[in-house]
Each structure stands twice: as C-alpha cells, then as structure tokens.
Structure 1
Amino acid sequence: MSLLFLFSCCPPEVVTFPQNVEQVSEIAILCNDNEIPLIPFGSGTGLEGGINAVKGGVCVDLTHMNEILSVNPEDFDCTVQSGVTRMQLNNYLRDTGLWFPIDPGADASLCGMCSTSASGTNAVRYGTMRENVLNLEVVLADGRVINTAGKGRRTKKTSAGYNLTNLFVGSEGTLGIITKASLKLFGIPEATVSAVCHFPDVQGAVDTTVQVLQCGIPIARIEFLDEVSIDAVNKYSKMDMKVAPSLFLEFTGTPSSLDEQAALVADLCSMNNGSDFKWAKDPEERSHLWKARHDILYACMALKPGSKPYSTDVCVPVSKLPEIIKRSKEEITKAGVCDSFMLGHVGDGNFHTLFLADPNNPEEVQIVKDVSNKIAEMSLEMNGTCTGEHGIGQGKRELLVQEIGETGIQVMKQIKQTLDPKGIMNPAKVFY
C-alpha cells in the first residue's frame, strides 16, 4: 500500500545489495567518479518520496546489512547495522529487560529512522531519534567512512567538537549513507496501563494534555483522534467508543504509582468535561486499544475502497493545537474534501490530517495538495514546522524555504556542497 500518490514513481536504473560497509564505500567511489546519483534505501516506509530516483542512478539497498553488532545492558545502548528494523531489535532485546521505544508505527529500519529523524507515539516520554542516537557510521559521497562521534564512542554526552551525529540525523540521505548506528536503550517499565477518554470539543482534549504535562505525570503516550477517526475505528475494529474528540493515553511505572496517576488524570479529564473514561490494565485489552489506534489508516481506507491515503504531519506549540485543528477543518470544508481524518501525538504538538483520494483523479489529488500546503503554512504562521516527523523529501521543499528562510537554506546548501560536491547523494530531495 502506497501513501505516495502525490509523487510519480521514479525507479532507479540499478539496485545494489551491499553486504558490508566496504562494499557501500566501493559503490560510492564508483558513482562519485562517474557522477551517478546514489539513493540509499532502508525499508521503503518513508512518506515524502525520499527514495524516488528522480534523476535515475543507483539504489543502495541496505536490507542485507541486518546484524545487531552489540548490546550493552549495563550501559543501556546497542549498535546495529543499517538494515536492522525496530521490531527486529526489540525482539532481540526481549530477554534483557531493555527496549528501544521510538515507534513510528511502521517496522522501519533504524538507520532509515535516523535519516528522517523519525519519532511516533512514544516521543512525549522518550523523545525522537535526534535525542537517542549516540554515534553513526556514515559513508560519504566520495567513499570515505566516518564515525560521527569517533570510532567506537557511545557516551551519553560529549562536548568534543561539532555535533556531526545530529548533522546526519534528518539529512534524508542527501549527505551520506548511514551504515551503522549506536542507540540508547531503556528499561522495560514494570507495569503499563492504557486509557481512553472522550471530550465535547478539541479544546477540552488539548487542555487536559497540557495539564497532564504541567503536573509532571510521567505519561508514556498521549494520542488524539477526532470524531471522524473514532467513527472509522468503531466500524473497522468493531468497537463502541463514543464518537467524539478523544484522547488515548498510556502510563508506565510501578503498580502503586499507576493508581495515583490514574486518579489524577481522571480528575483532570473530568475538569475539562471529559467523559466515559475507561482503563485497560489487562495486556490483551491494552493491545486491542492501541491496535485500534495503529489501525486508523486501514480503518479510514475501508470507508472509501480503492482510495489511497496521504498524511500531513505538521507540529505546533501545544497551546496552538485547538486553533490549527479548527482552522484546518474549516479549510477542508471550504475545499469540499469529504474524506479526511485527524489524529496526532498531542503531547508534543504533532498532528496528522489523513486524506483519502482517488490517485487517478487529478482534480482530487490537486485539492489534497492545496489543502495540505495550506495546513502546513498555517503551522508556520503559528511558529510551528511543516514536518514533525515525516521529513521534507520531494513534497515539502518549498515549505522548507518558508520555514528556515533563504539564509538558512544557503547554509544547508553550503554543507551539502562541501560533503557532496558533485551532487550525487539522493538528488532533488530536501531542496532543489
């Protein structure tokens, strides 16, 4: 299933399957010497056309480099090759009492997640990839191999020189090919409880979110679904939740601390006119509740068979969420878009508008493009960002100029020119 109906498919001329970093380096040298575009490929779960071979060239498929090289339980870190996926790592860690919590929904490759600075539902507690990468091994355009924090280094902090690690996190394959990553790990919580609560309006849900954060409650996840999404979930997952703006919450800690958190959050929800507050303590119940949240894409698509989805991912200061959601709904109504759904990681101000459209209907596709751009521009007006987690890719290059400014773009291009003077690394992505 593709979420990329806004972008034409552009396959590469050659696909390579390197087995180690030396082979990746050799491929880069050959391509650089002959000025052939290089497109890194992880798991293909990106949403902004980041792996399209717009100018042809060579795709470097890194899925065969899938070894977990080391796990250091006492240090709470691990080192993985580029093809290792999030689920593969967590399955491997099962008996250690540790896990890697960054969860973008898809079983993405971890180095691909570094490349797009991915996050997801756990970001409010654990942060994004940007906060959880200790070191990267990167093959540059000319074949040189660098370790961004020094070979073998995996300390939790450093003041040694420029932060090269975070230069490559979020670079979307335009500066180099990430072949290895050292990542932070966390202890698996002793106990977990999930909950859902419904509100008469978006303001009540967001006010509750802000108050939960202000009270210092160690919330693990706090997700928002609008009434249209809840209706879709009810039909698809055979649930009977109240059709209203809703919060999905998850708490972790000791059993006694969870009881205290539950009572406090229930009070906050009640203060903001929340209703039907339901807890799920049993692992099966929790799994069912969150499966409904993660299946929202399929639930929405089931309402319009034959359609393809496209998702925005703007992020604003949390206090601005009610305003941007209200204005976004007004723009959607004005444009006559019938099939759209809203959900988000409200704990950090990130929300998605999911559109369904017929990819063979140019008029529908254009409307989705226009409304998506208007929502992104609204987020910029509110001191937000056009992309909280999906990246720029092909689709948001003009918006990046508005967000960063011409001077910022010039500096980015200077960095790109220094590391990739022939412009072979994933060309036509991030900026023109």
Structure 2
Amino acid sequence: MRQSLERIDAVDGVLHAFVLRLDERATRLADERDRERASGRLRSALHGVPVAVKDLFDIEGYRTGSGSRSFPNHRAAVSASAVRKLEEAGAVIVGKTHTVEFAFGGWGTNPVLGAPVNPYDSKVHRAPGGSSSGSAVAVASGMVPLALGTDTGGSIRIPAAFCGLFGHKSTPGLISRGGMRYLSPSHDSVGALARSVRDLRAAMGILAGPDVEDTATLALPAIAFGGRDEAFSGSIRFATLDDPALERLDDEVRQRFRATLDRLGDRLDAIGTLRLPVPLATMCDKAGRLMSAESYASLHTITEDPATDVAPEIRARINLGRSISASEVAELHALKRQWKAQFAEAFAGYDILVMPGVPIAPPPLSDIDQSNMVLSLFGRYVNMLDLCAASVPVGLTSDGLPIGITLIGRGLDDWRVLAVAAMLEREALAALSPPVGFERAPS
C-alpha cells in the first residue's frame, strides 16, 4: 500500500488520474489487512491490494461527482455494491478516478475537471480514452494494479486499448450496479482494468453475483472465473466481422490486427467472417440515441439549466434526448431485441468474435474533434447486443503507442473471453510493459 501511495504522490500531479484520494482511510484499512495476514487470515487473492474506482461509484461518507461540478455536494450513506464486495474481499480502495463528465464520451476529455494524461507519452498530452479515463491511467502508470470502471459504449475497452491494458466489459447484469451513477441503464455494465488477466479474473470472481440493490443481477447464475482455460484448438471457434467500418483503421492498427488474426489462424483451421444485422455505423447511431434518451431522463434538470457548468459537447449529447419520443424509445428497444436475435443466429457457429479495439492510436488532445464518433463505432455495438468483451493489448505503433484488440463473446461467456485473453497473454501475443517515469508534464 505504501508503494502505491508513494507512486501516486510521484506521478499523479502530472497524470491527473485521481479526483479524490483516500490516503488516511486506505492506510487504516491496509494496516487492518496486514494484521489479518499476520494472524493467518487471507480474505481473497485481492487481500491488501490497492484498487482505484471510477467516480461513478458511491463510497460511504464521500461525494460521487460523475466527472462534473454540477451535482450538489453530498455524502454517500453507503458504499456501492461493487465497492463493498471488493473491500469485503480485502481490497483497499485508495481513491476515486476521473471520468468523462457523466461518463458520456470515448476520448477521455473533461473540460470541466481536466483530462488525465495518457502515460505512454511524457511530452504530448494524448487522449487516455474514456469514459473510464482515470482508472486506465492509474493502472497503466503503476499507481494501482487494478481499477474499477464502467462500460456503456466502450468506456472500459477504449481506455484499455489506448493505455495498453486488459479491460473487461461484463455481461449486463453479471455485476451489480447498485450505488452506481447510471448513464444509460439499458447499456451500462461494470468491469475492471488491469495489467494482467489474472487480476481481472480475481476481480470478476469477487464482483459477479446477485445483489438486491440491482435486480438485473438476480436472474443470472454464478460464473466461475478461475481455471477454465481451453487449449488453442478447434474447440474455440473464432470469427471476425466484415463491415465498412474496418476501412477506417489506421495502417499500423490494421497491420497489427491482421497479424494477430494470422497468429490465431496458425493454430486453427480457419477464422470465420460474418456480418452484423446492420452496419456498425447504423448500430452506433441507434445505440447513441438510446443513450441520449435515457441520460436525458435522469439528467435533464442539470443539462437544460444554462447556469450549470457542463461541457458543451456533453450538454449537447444528453439534450439530444429532448427530441426523442417515447414511441421512438420503444422502437429502439424493439430494434435491440431484433438485432440480438439476428446476431445470435449468425454467431451460433462461433465462440469468440475478434475485432480491433479502437481504429486509431491515441491522438493529442489538441487534434480531437468531439463530433468524430470513430471510437464509438467500434464500441457501442457490443452494448447494443448485450455481449461481453475483453480488450487485449497486442503491440505498439512505431511511435510507441498502444494497439489493442477486442475479444467478444455471447452473454455469460465472460469466463471464455477471459480464458482466451489469458492464452494470448501466455503466448506473448498480449501484454505491454507499463511506462515508467514522468520527468515533465506533457505540453
């Protein structure tokens, strides 16, 4: 724990990952965990492990800000279910991490509170990916080994890909959202970011399961996350998508993605190709409209008030929901059900869908066009189809910036997705060394 806090002291002034530090509380809990260990008690594999959580989760006695200044000051009466489960398993929460305002954005920017710095470039302020931006930066820079995030349209997978990490977007309902600030209840899911699949599995084994605070979890069975690896063989059937969106890949991302498919193909008879019910662009647009409608329902009193300090692009995304009628929302849910059924039929002969994580390397903040939805294009369809996924780092560009792929599985196949990620890690097809040292702030 001391090393984690010292690392935060050393680099967070530059990287800006944390919005709230809990040093005194964390030190007290760490001392308790040390005493338990000395007496022979280990609560779990995460006993005494420092963990950061995205500032969408309540921690008893502290404010949850959702990356915004517009929420009134308050103190949470109880901690979020995911936070409680981690702490009951012996983990120690060291603080809350920055997020895109209201978690509605993929670049990782936040004009209101500031954007964390991607630690793979110490000279230029590059996008960390969002919306779980601070969680990714905290893990990639070695401040903590594990961080909690949320994913509504790529918000775990995008920052994991931009920061060279493993990230797990869980099946909807697998992990409780009790005590978490919602963006879009139809698409929000909880997951973690880490530098190894082992750490993701440890977290998921603790977090998964029913919870009365989120009734969506009550209908799902328990899933065992440890020890279910499968050999690379015909027992795992891989596919990728044929979609016009793949034309938008940067050259180096395309080359690394194709090389990864070739390496997988060397172990298998073939990697199949399939199409989604509609192009990724159509699914991205419809998912975005559903997100706007649902976020407007809960946040319109803030975003419709011109006096509130809300970033213009976030205000516009949420206020788009004003023009979306109840009948259109019903139509969007009908489309979601239809597309899920059509995808299930097309995917029936496969186990894992392999796709690029993001189509580009992390750009400088100064180059970002907030109207560019290219990151969402490769993120939202997973949420629209209620699938699970894992982001896997597979290499670096010539400029030393991370490239990732995404492994996607049907609902409740989280264990298989993480098993394949673990195999890629063992085969040295995945995992990047985290950057170290930040002698000066990026320009």
Q: Normalised by the size of structure 2, how large is the TM-score?
A: 0.31
- Choose 1 or 2 for highest CA Rg: 1
Q: Normalised by the size of structure 1, how large is the TM-score?
A: 0.32
